[in-house]
Amino acid sequence: MNLTTLTTTLSPYIHLPPRIHTLISSLPLPASLNLSLAPLLALADFTLISLRTIQSGTSSLLDILILCPGLHKQSSADQAHHGEYPATAAMTTGYVFRTENQACVHFFQRVGKTGSLVTLNVTRPEVGRFQGVRDMLFGPRGIESVHVALGALTVDVIAGLWLIGDFYALGFICMLILSRLLNMLAIRRRLAPEWKGALEPGVKGDLLVLLSQDRWVRVQGLVDDLKAVTSGQWLRDKGFVEECLVDLGTVLVYAGVVVGSNSTQKGGLMVAALLVVSSMVLGVANRSGGKELWMHGRVVSVGGEKKYARRRELADELIAEHGRDDWAIGMGMIPPKDKSAGLAIM
């Protein structure tokens, strides 16, 4: 009994039959249609995987079954903030500094709106038993519907390719999964928290972040939690090991395209369906989950939004609330008191 016959015999007894294979087999595909180059879709410069990595603050083992175009660009997630390091003021102490946590800045850019003050809350979710193991398997959010849907789709396509005996397309999918595994390991190696400042237990903080395009973000929470999500780096610079993992993962994707170009017509269509559907589902998941950021055991969530006609109105309101203006002077929101010039309207 060969492998194809064995798989066909066992398929009625498994709970995840290859539905993609059944659907594609029923399609009237023209003989002139050539889908052997469908694996080239994997090289599209999409940022879906990078955005998911930023939102979850890490990469988990179950993520390796989520296969989308641009998956080899995951290591570039720390460049999504486009080099912006916004001025930030601690309104409770008057200190002015810059936020350089790449994922945090990108999140500020996503939720910020021109002419509006967006308030964010930083909290620390409860940590259960074996949290480290669950984080490694599923990520800090735990298992999500996108894990179940896209993981099941990938397994379904693998089963379908096995049934039709298209081992070139199957090899391509396996090379993508291996590439994702290598990039996941590189991301997790770069996550090691470094300097976060001295501990200040129980002290509440209030930060104001001035982004480009007149976007203003207020971040509230305990000082230690604010430091965890804003100070230092999100991902440290790649070392030799991380560079090797990322480079090998990238080579696997390109080599996989070469292998997958030998696939059959049905195999190419299955590969195209997997990449396109996964992109659509992950895009919706990224959009629906774009109001939260998980970072170093904390959750940053949107709390509210308020519009202002002038930035000076915002400054005056926050100065009155905190009873000090040194932070506003340091950020250039109001002029120093020892100057004779009138107030600058911003």
Query: Is residue 100, in this structure, part of any structural domain at all?
Result: yes
pLDDT of residue 242: 93
Query: Is residue 151, in this structure, part of any structural domain at all?
Result: yes
pLDDT of residue 22: 65
Each residue's pLDDT, cut to its tens digit, for the chain (346 residues) gives: 454 554 455 444 344 456 665 666 666 666 666 777 888 999 998 999 999 999 988 889 999 999 999 999 998 888 888 889 999 999 999 999 999 889 999 999 999 999 999 999 999 887 767 777 777 888 888 788 888 889 989 998 998 888 888 899 999 999 999 999 999 999 999 986 666 777 888 899 999 999 999 999 999 999 999 998 888 888 888 889 999 999 999 999 999 999 999 998 888 888 999 999 999 999 999 988 878 899 888 899 998 899 999 989 999 999 999 999 889 988 888 888 765 544 443 3
Tokens of 336: 């120093």
Tell me if residue 120 falls in helix, strand or coil: strand
Domain that holds residue 214: 16-22+36-330
Q: Is 19 exposed, middle or buried (0-12, 13-18, 19+ CB in 10 A)?
A: middle
pLDDT of residue 27: 60
Query: Is residue 7, in this structure, part of any structural domain at all?
Result: no
Query: Is residue 209, in this structure, part of any structural domain at all?
Result: yes
Query: Is residue 276, in this structure, part of any structural domain at all?
Result: yes
pTM of the predicted model as reported, rounded to 2 decimal places: 0.84
Query: Is residue 4, in this structure, part of any structural domain at all?
Result: no
pLDDT of residue 14: 40
Alpha helices in 190-261 (DSSP H): 223-230, 240-260
Q: What angle do CA 23, 26, 27 make, to 5 degrees?
A: 95
Determine contact, residues 35/268, Cβ cutoff 8 Å: yes
DSSP per position, 56-110? HSS--GGGGG---TTGGGGGGGGGTTTT---EEEETTT--EEE---HHHHHHHHH
To the nearest 10 degrees (0 to 180), the angle between helices 48-56 and 102-111 is: 100
Query: Is residue 277, in this structure, part of any structural domain at all?
Result: yes
Count of structural domains within the chain: 1
Query: Is residue 216, in this structure, part of any structural domain at all?
Result: yes
pLDDT of residue 291: 86
